Amino acid sequence: MGALLLAAAGCGGSSDPPPHPADLPPTPRERAEAREAAKRPPAPRCPAGAGNCRAAEGRVIGLESVDPDGDGDLHLILTSAQSITLPGITVLDINKDLRPARDPKIGDWAAGAGPVYTGSYGQSQIQVDAVEVWPRR
């Protein structure tokens, strides 16, 4: 009977707790994302002490190349942790003078910084003073 209890107590493997996810080596996807992040330009930031300024970065999931009011702005919809517009979403309003040489494509990375204002649909968006766009390869 004693041997049976000892055998049962030994089941379940090691008494060490499983490793914490932060202690695990990076996954292939995490390594690829880190290599990509090292290649792209630094994201714009708000100047120190600037009021009503926010910065956001993320993947382009939508864009409006031709603004309905015809002023030449480019609007980018990003997935972003900064969540300026909605949870997980930030809209960048890019003035025609700051527009990149080519419009980004879905999946490209973009970042912008500037004051937050209300857009034509009532959404909060960044009116960028500085913008960077990097194509996904």
Local confidence band at 1 (pLDDT 50, 70, 90 cut-offs): low
Please tell me the CATH code under which domain 44-134 is placed.
2.40.50.140
- Rounded-to-10 torsion of CA 53, 58, 64, 68: -20
Return d(Cα 107, Cα 90) in angstroms, integer.
Answer: 14
For the segment 87-112, what is each residue's pLDDT rounded down to a tens digit?
999 999 999 999 998 999 999 999 99
Q: What's the Cα-to-Cα distance from 136 to each of 37, 39, 42, 60, 86, rounded to whole Å?
A: 11, 11, 15, 10, 24
Of 26 and 45, more confident: 45
Residue 12 has pLDDT above 80, yes or no: no
For the segment 62-92, what is each residue's pLDDT rounded down to a tens digit?
999 987 777 889 999 999 999 999 999 999 9
Answering whether pTM is above 0.85, one says no
Residue 5 has pLDDT above 80, yes or no: no
Of 20 and 83, more confident: 83
Straight-line distance from the first to the last Cα atom of the chain, in angstroms, rounded to the nearest whole number: 65
The neighbouring-strand residues paired with 54 are: 114
Local confidence band at 123 (pLDDT 50, 70, 90 cut-offs): very high
**Sequence ranges of the domains in the chain:** 44-134
CA angle 84, 90, 93 (to 5 degrees): 105
Helix (H, G, I), strand (E, B) or coil at 35: helix
Q: What is the mean pLDDT of residues 18-45?
A: 83
